[in-house]
Amino acid sequence: NASSAGIKALPGGSVYSATKAAVRSFARGWTLDLKARKIRVNAISPGPINTPGANSVGNSEEEREQNQARFTAIVPMGRRGEPDEVAKAAVFLASDDSSFITGIELFVDGGTAQI
């Protein structure tokens, strides 16, 4: 997956952000490379998502809580997303309901990247 970090700078996150920007670039290139085979390519860019990995960032419980609060604070919707919200976006893009959608980056980030 890509990430909203691929378009928005994060303190200390330049390498992570660069890898996510690369995923976005691959998706755009593959859209053209695979069109003759009728393969659609899209990228999903989650923002802060409530996962065990995200919840474990920090060396102490206090640090983990501070990180969770910091990630929540940047989301215009006022909460972190849930994994099933990202999964539903993936299912949509894989379904025939999105048959005329290709080459996009779908942000599942509560508005983080755009606002």
Q: Residues with Cβ < 8 Å from 86, sequence gap 6 or more?
A: 1, 44, 46, 49, 108
CA proximity to 41, closest of 102, 110, 105: 102
Would you say 73 and 40 are in contact if contact means Cβ atoms under 8 Å apart? Answer: no
Q: Which residues are catalytic?
A: 16
Euclidean distance between CA atoms 1 and 17, whole angstroms: 12
Euclidean distance between CA atoms 88 and 92, whole angstroms: 6
Widest Cα–Cα separation across the chain: 52
